[in-house]
Amino acid sequence: MVILDILIHGVGWASIYAVIAIGFSLIFSASRIINLAQGEFVMLGGLFGFTLYSLKIPLFFIPPLSGLLVAIVGITMDKLALSPASGASPTSLIIITIAISIILKSIAALVWGPTSFRIPGFFENRTFMISTGIIINPQYLFIMVICAASILSLTLFLKKTKLGRSLRACSMDPVGARIVGISPEKMRTLSFATGGALAGLIGALIAPIFYASSECGLNLGLKGFCAAVLGGMGSMPGAIAGGFIIGLAEAMGASVASSYKDVIAPVLMIVVLYFRPEGIVGGRS
End-to-end CA distance of the chain: 38
At residue 285, the pLDDT reads 55
pLDDT in tens, 146-176: 999 999 999 999 999 999 999 888 888 888 8
Residue 243 has pLDDT above 90, yes or no: yes
- Residue 196 confidence class, pLDDT cut points 50, 70, 90: very high
Higher pLDDT, 132 or 120: 120
Q: How do beta strands 134-136 and 128-131 pair?
A: antiparallel
Average pLDDT over residues 195-219: 91
Q: What percent of the chain has pLDDT over 90?
A: 53
Do 228 and 285 touch, CB atoms closer than 8 A? no
At residue 177, the pLDDT reads 84
Give the integer Cα–Cα distance in Å for 111 and 73.
Answer: 15
Residue 131 has pLDDT above 60, yes or no: no
- Triad 203, 33, 19: Cα angle to 5°: 30
At residue 97, the pLDDT reads 95
